[in-house]
Amino acid sequence: MYTRIILILFTFLLTEISMAQIPASPIVKSDLAPTGKIRASINVGNPILAKRDHDHAQPYGVSIDLATNLAKELGLELELVVFDSAGKSVDAVANKKADFGFFAIDPVRGKEITFTHAYVVIEGAYVVPNNSAIQSNDEVDQAKNRIVVGKGSAYDLYLTREIKNAQIVHAPTSPKVVEFFVNGGYEVGAGVRQQLEMDLAKYPGIRLLPGRFMQINQSMGVNKDVSDATKAYLKDYVERMKASGFVAEALSRHQIQGAGVAPPGN
């Protein structure tokens, strides 16, 4: 009995230690708010992370919640810098037009962006016409196939590295993939599973392939030029938001399916 009590207390202590907040030093606030406001780069092209009901509507979603809470924690005013594609969102942070953002972890982006560990894990999937002979992900990479993917998206970067035979064709943004794929008569479309599932209702002549072709680790990221203290602070923030249940609650509240809270970072 005493051993069990000790184990419970030890587990509680570890949880408290893991949840301990790294103090936000003046350099952190300076890095994250060089203009006086903390500018969050938001990509509404990925509906798992953020979306809006029309072009001029206020965006909402998990990434908005994380950005809002971060600004509150730092005592800073939040400014949302909204884009319709991942590539534009990355460029904003890389070119210091925004102070941080929400990105899929990728080595190409890693040349200019420092990532936290993932906070959400989502899946990349393929869509094909109903009459396609393709039945599995393994059959996609053939010379006769053209794969439509959102320009600059995580899927674009990944497939550009991995696809050896098929041709990569770029749609303007990830939300436009299925429309571009159907109207152009292409063989395969690639994107966020949830987005593709939503598009099935608009285009009854297509189907999803089973399984996934990649797992996408969504993280927060800052420009590589910021201090080590700021990078550590942001990494700590993500781990605390996962451990506290904040991310899980946000996913549930926004009724996000097909995505889960990422495991603790090492």
pLDDT digits (tens, 9 = 90+) for 213-242: 988 899 999 999 999 999 999 999 999 999
Which is more confidently placed, 215 or 10?
Answer: 215
- Whole-number pLDDT of residue 5: 38
In the numeric block, the tokens 């899927």 are attached to: 155
Closest CA to 155 of 180, 181, 173, 143: 173
Alpha helices in 35-171 (DSSP H): 62-74, 86-94, 154-162
Residue type, 10: F
As a whole number of angstroms, the distance between CA 217 and CA 117 comes to: 8
**Residue 129: pLDDT over 60:** yes
Q: How confident is the model at residue 7 (pLDDT cuts 50, 70, 90)?
A: very low
The token pair that represents 59 in the structure block: 């965006």
Q: What share of the chain is helix, strand, coil (3-state, %, to 5)?
A: 40, 25, 35
Closest CA to 188 of 167, 174, 161, 214: 167
Tell me the angle at which helices 228-243 and 62-74 cross, rounded to the nearest 10 degrees: 120
Domain ranges of the chain: 2-121+219-261, 122-214
Closest CA to 79 of 27, 52, 41, 45: 41
Size of the chain, expressed as the number of residues it contains: 266
Do the first three CATH levels of 2-121+219-261 and 122-214 match, i.e. the same topology?
yes
Which is more confidently placed, 240 or 5?
Answer: 240
Q: How confident is the model at residue 24 (pLDDT cuts 50, 70, 90)?
A: low
Q: How confident is the model at residue 17 (pLDDT cuts 50, 70, 90)?
A: very low
**At the top level of CATH, which class does the domain 2-121+219-261 belong to?**
alpha beta
**Residue 143: pLDDT over 70:** yes
**Residue 83: pLDDT over 90:** yes
**Residue 12: pLDDT over 50:** no
**Residue 205: pLDDT over 80:** yes
**Residue 144: pLDDT over 80:** yes
What mean pLDDT value characterizes the chain? Answer: 89
As a whole number of angstroms, the distance between CA 63 and CA 247 comes to: 9
Question: Structure pTM?
Answer: 0.74
Query: Do 122 and 155 touch, CB atoms closer than 8 A?
Result: no
- Whole-number pLDDT of residue 173: 86
- Whole-number pLDDT of residue 22: 64
**Residue 102: pLDDT over 90:** yes
In the numeric block, the tokens 């996934």 are attached to: 212
**CATH dotted code for 122-214:** 3.40.190.10
pLDDT in tens, 33-72: 999 999 999 999 888 899 888 878 899 999 999 999 999 9
